[in-house]
Structure 1
Amino acid sequence: MSGTVLKKEQDFGEDPLAVRESDHYQHEYTESFVDKWDQLIDWKGRAEGEGRFFIDLLKKLGKHKILDVAAGTGFHSVQLAKAGFDVTTVDGAKEMLIKAFDNGRDNGIVLQTICADWRWLNKDVHGKYDAIVCLGNSFTHLFEEKDRRRALAEFYAALKHDGVLILDQRNYDLIMDEGFSTKHKYYYCGDQVTAEPEHVDDSLARFRYTFPDDSVYHLNMFPLRKTYVKRLMHEIGFQKITTYGDFEANYDEKETDFYVHVAEKAYDDES
């Protein structure tokens, strides 16, 4: 993984809809796409949309040592580090980590970065963490159930006995059942960038990203249903799972863009 050399341009082959492999993300996050990624996120807009949700949640849970396993260009790693957390920054795409480190430096933060594949996370990441965050709809890059189970098991093993996994996902239930509609209020806040599905079926959500300079990129992802993700977490061993819709405990599933699952490793005393 750490020695992967990413191509300048994306390559989905002759039939992009046939690309349904967990390893393909290495060919999707090309140097040119990564260079534009922060235009899509808009750090200022995203920070305003999220507020202090993750910071306050982690503090409420009493967590300090955090592993950001899908760091991307470093938005959450930087926000958490600024808030005083001890953060280790992980991503499977080398170009993303380079960008994250640069973004951290621009914000006065020296990020501890590790290039690692989630499925073999503990081979490259050592020690135990209070919490793991896997954000930005990243878990949907895993197409095979065995990969999802393996990754969740690696997360579970990297957590302390009372550790917490915070994992988010798009509301794919709504996309598949009702069609796509988004306010772009919380996650992808760049107002000059469009992010919308080009194709959706029960095992592929192919998103198209169009930037102000008319450049176009794609990501192929697996459309995870909410109850399926929660079931997998329980089966791996997480004891209590709380789900938020667009950062709210009370939410309308038909109005929610993203879910955030908070999976606790410790037994619930009330159960």
Structure 2
Amino acid sequence: MTDQADKTFRPESTQDYGEDPTGVRTSDKYVSEYIRGFVDKWDELIDWNQRADSEGRFFIDILKGRGKDSVLDVATGTGFHSIQLAKAGFAVTSADGSAEMLAKAFQNAVEHDVMLKTVHADWRYLNRDVHGKYDAIICLGNSFTHLFEEADRRRALAEFYAALKHDGVLIIDQRNYDAILDSKKFQTKHKYYYCGDQVTAVPVHVDDGLARFEYTFPDGSKHNLNMFPLRKNYTRGLLREAGFQKVQTYGDFMEDGEESRPDFFIHVAEKLDDE
């Protein structure tokens, strides 16, 4: 475990999907997708101030309402939620599979007068690199969709479960792929998650096994991400099969069903075992 990302990491200078970009469907691909040029622009896509206003105290209240203190952020990205939670008084450990993201998160934390404890970790082997038990784990930013193989998804959830205390809670989100797959159209309120109004994020290919998004930035640069389009009920089923006994789903920070077509689903899964 280190206090900052491994500086020996050497990122790819450009994204490379070969001759068939829609054929690239592996869980490890995200590492080379997050090249430095893309990571450096990621906060333009998020818009931290707007994101903070849109979600308010949602995650803070869920965690504090359940008496949680220690939080493992397994998809810290550029650090938004790790920093917000640290400022709110939680003991946060920040993990990510992308060394580039971890380096950017550490830099952002310094600028916000927060010292992040970071670890470079693959979810499938999480407990090899992250030690101890946590009150809560968060996996946000549509990150779980980077896992293409069902075996990888099940293994990651098993690792999350093992890293939680006996009454721990996992908060995991996903884009509303049901709406995209069922309507074959993409609509977004551009309000809650990717709030940067100068950046466009649109699917350029969608089928049952791939949602390929293209991100266009104000300087004209374009970057892509290949993601697995998780359906809401499929994810809820995986959580229950991983051992989580109570799963509550929100749509854009509202109770499930209150928002007819949310951009994102947020699942709050509670361990509640008798260890």
Tell me the TM-score range normalised by the shorter chain: over 0.9
Query: Alignment partner for residue 202 of structure 1, among 208, 213, 228?
Result: 208
Aligned counterparts of 2:202 and 2:50: Cα–Cα separation in 1: 19
> Relative to structure 2, which stretch is displaced further, 212-221 or 6-15?
6-15
Match of 2:195 in 1: 189
Pair 1:173 & 2:191 matched: no
Equivalent residue number for residue 258 of structure 1: 264
Count of residues in Structure 1 that have an aligned counterpart in Structure 2: 268
Q: Rate the CA distance shift 1:48–1:162 in 2: closer, same or farther, 3 A.
A: same
List, as ranges, runs of 4+ consecutive aligned residues in structure 1 with deviation greater than 2 Å: 1-5, 250-254
Whether contact under 8 Å (1:174, 1:253) holds in the other structure is no
1:5 Cα deviation from its structure 2 partner = 2.9
Residue aligning to 2:113: 108
Shift of 1:254: 4.0
Alpha-carbon distance between aligned partners in 1 of 2:236 and 2:124, rounded to the nearest angstrom: 19
- Matched residue, 2:75: 70
The corresponding residue for 1:233 is 239
Q: Percent identity?
A: 67
Determine helix, strand or coil for the equivalent of 1:22: coil
Matched, 1:249 2:247: no
**Per-residue displacement from partner, 1:109-142 (whole Å, max 9, x unpaired)?**
0000000000000000000000000000000000
Q: CA-to-partner distance for each residue in 1:74-121, whole Å, 9 max, x for gaps? A: 000000000000000000000100000010010010000000000000
Counterpart-to-counterpart distance in 1, 2:251 and 2:242: 23
Specify the code of the residue in structure 2 equivalent to 1:199. H
Aligned residues of 1:6 and 1:27 also touching (Cα < 8 A): yes
Q: Distance in 1 between matches of 2:131 and 2:258?
A: 39
Quote the offset at 1:6 in angstroms: 1.8
Question: Partner amino acid for 2:210?
Answer: L
Contact kept in structure 1, 2:213 and 2:226, CA below 8 Å: yes
The answer to whether the Cα contact below 8 Å between 1:238 and 1:263 also exists between their aligned partners in 2 is yes
RMSD between aligned residues: 1.4
| Structure 1 residues 68 and 37, CA gap change in structure 2 (3 angstroms) | same
> What does 1:1-271 align with in structure 2 at a 5 Å threshold?
4-178=9-183, 179-252=185-258, 254-267=260-273
- Once residues 253 and 21 of structure 1 are traced to their aligned partners in structure 2, the CA distance between those partners, rounded to angstroms, is 32
2:57 partner amino acid: R
Q: TM-score under structure 1 normalisation?
A: 0.96
Unaligned runs of 5+ residues in structure 1 are: none
1:16-48: CA deviation from partner (whole Å, max 9, x where unpaired): 000000000011000110000000000001001
Compared CA separation, residues 252 and 174, structure 1 to 2 (3 A):
farther
In the alignment, the residues of structure 2 paired with residue 163 and residue 252 of structure 1 have an alpha-carbon distance, to the nearest angstrom, of 26
Which consecutive unaligned segments of at least 5 residues does structure 2 have?
none
Shift of 1:253: 5.9
Looking at structure 2, the residues matched to 39 and 263 of structure 1 have their Cα atoms a distance apart, in angstroms, of 30
Output the CA distance in 1 between the equivalents of 2:256 and 2:266.
12
Task: Give the TM-score taking structure 2 as reference length.
Answer: 0.95
- Distance, in Å, in 2 between the alignment partners of 1:4 and 1:92 is 12
1:4 positional shift: 5.0
